[in-house]
Amino acid sequence: MSRPKDCFVTFRPEPRAGLRLLCFPYAGGGAHVFRAWAERLSPRFEVCAAQFPGRGARLLEEPYAKLGQLLAESSRALSPLADKPFAFFGHSMGALVCFELARLLRREGRPMPLGLFVSGRSGPRSLRGVARLSVMPEGELLEELRRFAGVPAEVLENAELMRMMLPSIRADFAACEGYSYVEEPPLPCPVTAFGGEGDPEAGAEGLGQWRDETAARFSLRMFPGGHFFLDTARGPLVEAVAQDLAAWLREARGAAPPA
């Protein structure tokens, strides 16, 4: 595993890969969320995962509480990784980060991702910034985390570990709650949305709103599971990601898309 370079970790470097998949985790999550992806995906694709301050090897750093800070660091760290085609995957908070990062790259006239995977998050136009989770008393926040079923019970019950994790979780929630959609032209790259069939936070209707954010192809696929289907349905999800990555790369190289 490579050392973090700015905010991206590469678990299995693939110098001959034709495409990099840059992954952005959910609120409170770190690069480790995508460790298994590097083993499951073909060596044609190199997986790089965002490791923001306040978690993992950067646990002692002050977490960011504004989306703009996450975007600024991601943008800087992306520069040395854009020497070959790349795509974005983001789950929940990560979906917002990769979407706004793609728009930032376009505004700056920089290389754009071949495509976006947005997972577990309704389209950005419907989001309304309301401070709720970020300011909840600790007991209530832990109950919410338990409801999402994204944090193992043994972690939630470890008071010392949660004391270390809660600042980054609160900061991530604050970044999402402070988000405000700004109208821009649709992105020129395809967007694929993924969701969990039992996710109360992002159902098929909300995920379908991402269709408005692309002038290219849009597709939506639902998987068994709740908000954290990316763990419970990891195999089928990674397979679907690999299929789209291969298609996007073929198209970027000038080959006709498969019928």
How is the chain split into domains, by residue range? 8-127+185-252
Residues of the chain predicted below pLDDT 50: 1-5, 256-259
> Do 25 and 49 meet the contact criterion of CB atoms below 8 Å apart?
yes
Q: Give me the pLDDT at residue 142, please.
A: 74
Residue with tokens 């460790």: 35
Q: Which of 92, 119, 122, 168 is catalytic?
A: 92
Query: How much is the pTM?
Result: 0.90
Alpha carbon 173 to chain centroid, angstroms: 14
> Do 32 and 155 meet the contact criterion of CB atoms below 8 Å apart?
no
Query: Is 134 one of the catalytic residues?
Result: no
Q: Give me the pLDDT at residue 130, please.
A: 53
Q: Give me the pLDDT at residue 212, please.
A: 96
Taking CA 24 as the corner, what is the angle to CA 220 and CA 130, rounded to the nearest 5 degrees? 80
Q: Give me the pLDDT at residue 259, please.
A: 40
CATH code for the part of the protein at 8-127+185-252: 3.40.50.1820
Q: Give me the pLDDT at residue 2, please.
A: 42
